[in-house]
Chain A
Amino acid sequence: DTAVSQTPKYLVTQMGNDKSIKCEQNLGHDTMYWYKQDSKKFLKIMFSYNNKELIINETVPNRFSPKSPDKAHLNLHINSLELGDSAVYFCASSQDNGGTDTQYFGPGTRLTVL
């Protein structure tokens, strides 16, 4: 009965590979997010979807492509992985897009690019 789940939890891969991270929420929320946490623990928004529509697309390389097949799912596909992509990626969801609504975070996916 996990609220926000992510798979996989750990991902180790070689430079140049393509990988995907999946996120699912069972809270009935309308908005989902991807955040990146770097090695210094700094957290930054990457993307946000509201009702399957992209509403936030920060200055992220176009090798990163989010996809939301439905309101409960938001996946992140990364092409041609680079060393600098190594980080922890967090999915989150909220009822509304921003403002006062609490965002609920998944456990994170630790991506290591070798």
Chain B
Amino acid sequence: RKEVEQDPGPFNVPEGATVAFNCTYSNSASQSFFWYRQDCRKEPKLLMSVYSSGNEDGRFTAQLNRASQYISLLIRDSKLSDSATYLCVVNNPMAGGYNKLIFGAGTRLAVHP
């Protein structure tokens, strides 16, 4: 089983649509959770961190359910510029101060006119 599993893509949606991505993680010791965005042939860029209380940044809302080890990302009023691959990322904390990121395979979003 993969450490971070995401919805298979691609998601093809019209402009203005609301789209939701889901992600599950297997390491119950994970403490930090993120959504990264990656454009084609570019580097991943942090979209938002995810907190237990849920957090919102404009059209983007992230939720975390620690009990179910489940993370979600909701995008409202989709724009053409939202087309990208969205990566669910969790940390893998280890004794001694190690902190590596574990990436999901990503979910591709294509927003069309």
Is B truly associated with A?
Answer: no
Residues of B with Cβ closer than 8 Å to A? Answer: none
Residues of A with Cβ closer than 8 Å to B? Answer: none
